[in-house]
Amino acid sequence: MTSTSSAIAPPALTIQPVGSDDDLQQFLDVPQKIYGGDPNWVPPLRSDVAKQLGADGAFRAYGKLQGFIAKRGDSLVGRIVASVNQRLVEREESAIGLFGYFECVDDEAVATGLFEAAAEWLRSQGMMRIRGPIDLSTHNNCQMLIDGFEEPPMVMMPYNPPHYPTLWESYGFTKAKDAYAYRFEPHDMAEQFEKAYKIATKSGVTFRPIATKGEDFERDVRSLYRLFTETFANNWSSTPRTEDEFFEEAKSLQSLVDPDLFPIAEIDGEMVGFFMALPDYNEVLKRVNGRLDFIGILKFLWFRRTIERVRVLAFASLPEHRRKLIPLAMVHLAFQGGTKKNKRYTWAELGWVYEDNMSSRKIVEKAGGKIYKSYRIYEKSL
């Protein structure tokens, strides 16, 4: 007598577009399915993602998007958003489509299904290349972590499982550009930065903390917008935000700013440079599990006092004043502010910096920064 056995086929894989409100809620549920047991994962705020993708989101004024979710049977196993940022298409004079919000189980068939759905939609929009991960714009979440999975991400920095690069490269994506995050310890500060501060002040530069309230805050945000637009105008794969978009983001961060970490440089009352850093609120957001409901807000207010890490988002000065050593002077001031006796900060991250941005990298590395995480943006022909 013989016996036979057959393997049970896995549930069918389906890729469906996000159309209804119920679809969107499932889309927002996917990360929990992927990262539930990952101690380094910080859940994104569901309300922020929903706002970015919503019909009233700022992106809709200059772009199109389509989200997709992947299921095996009734189980959520992945998601993706394909988008056309018309500002980027016009700036690069190229039919380049974007994709982001990618999350996926470690299953090549699921990843391929999501990529194919995004690619097909982008082709229908006339796109000839696909680039990502970019969540609609580089002003939102972008970049894939490819090295440095041991530590949790800092606020407004990307994170993903180690299996993602393999899934992407198996589909045919290749490197477009890498970027780095640098780690700073308080003892890394060099004396030359204090000398730079003295040189800057003797050259007529004055420094002060950013304003965080009332009309002074609004004035500083307008000046920051002007500086951002001018100094970062040529950033790769990026397009300038409108003043309204910039102001909306600034207001969302207003209550999170520690002025000791955010020095402003002025000459004759005009802003000519800034150093933008924030306490690492991911240490707090991890405790609210992606929801700022009543309990989440109470937890946020309580635990924000315990933050020990700092993220440096950006620093810049107008080119015509760089000989006054303004960037180096602001590095000195920010580190002085972050190491005051009443501060709990123990170290800082600056990220991300593109691999070919040598002018910034030289300043960062002179300040003692050491690369501790690497990121990548990929591209592929359609």
Question: Which pairing describes strands 144-147 and 309-317: parallel, antiparallel, or unpaired?
Answer: unpaired
Q: Which of 169, 194, 155 is nearest to 312 (CA)?
A: 155
Classify residue 160: in a domain, yes or no: no
The pLDDT of residue 2 is 45
Same domain for 236 and 322, yes or no, is yes
The pLDDT of residue 341 is 85
Same domain for 312 and 248, yes or no, is yes
Q: Which of 167, 82, 90 is nearest to 132 (CA)?
A: 82
Q: Which domain holds residue 329?
A: 184-375
Domains of the chain: total: 2
Return all residues near 140 (Cβ < 8 A) that are at least 6 apart.
52, 100, 134
Same domain for 107 and 203, yes or no, is no
Same domain for 204 and 126, yes or no, is no
Query: Quick one: residue 321, left, alpha or beta (phi over 0 = left, psi -120 to 50 = alpha)?
Result: alpha
Same domain for 114 and 258, yes or no, is no
Classify residue 157: in a domain, yes or no: no
What's phi and psi for 205, nearest 5 deg?
A: -90, 135
The pLDDT of residue 86 is 96
**Rounded CA gap, 210 and 216, in Å?**
9
Cβ–Cβ under 8 Å, residues 223 and 249: no
Same domain for 277 and 351, yes or no, is yes
Q: Which of 316, 237, 336 is nearest to 276 (CA)?
A: 316
**Rounded CA gap, 133 and 102, in Å?**
7
Cβ–Cβ under 8 Å, residues 142 and 100: yes
The pLDDT of residue 187 is 65
Query: Per-residue b/e over 82-92, b at no fewer than 16 CB within 10 Å?
Result: bbbbebbbebe
Classify residue 23: in a domain, yes or no: yes
Beta bridge partners of 370: 183
List the structure tokens of 334.
């920010």
Q: Which of 330, 320, 317, 311 is nearest to 194 (CA)?
A: 330
Beta bridge partners of 174: 379
* pLDDT by position in tens, the chain (length 382): 444 445 677 789 999 999 999 999 999 999 999 998 899 999 888 889 999 999 998 899 999 999 999 999 999 999 999 999 999 999 999 999 999 999 999 999 999 999 999 999 999 999 999 999 999 999 999 999 999 999 999 999 999 999 999 999 999 999 999 999 999 886 655 677 889 999 999 999 999 999 999 999 999 999 999 999 998 888 899 998 889 999 999 998 998 899 999 999 999 999 999 999 999 998 888 777 666 676 767 777 677 778 899 999 999 899 888 789 999 899 899 989 988 888 889 999 998 999 999 988 988 888 888 999 999 999 999 9
Is omega for the bond preceding 133 within 30 degrees of 0, making it cis?
A: yes
Task: Return the CATH number at 363.
Answer: 3.40.630.30
Classify residue 162: in a domain, yes or no: no
Same domain for 326 and 248, yes or no, is yes
Same domain for 135 and 44, yes or no, is yes
Same domain for 227 and 304, yes or no, is yes
Counting Cα atoms < 13 Å in the Cβ hemisphere of 264 gives 21
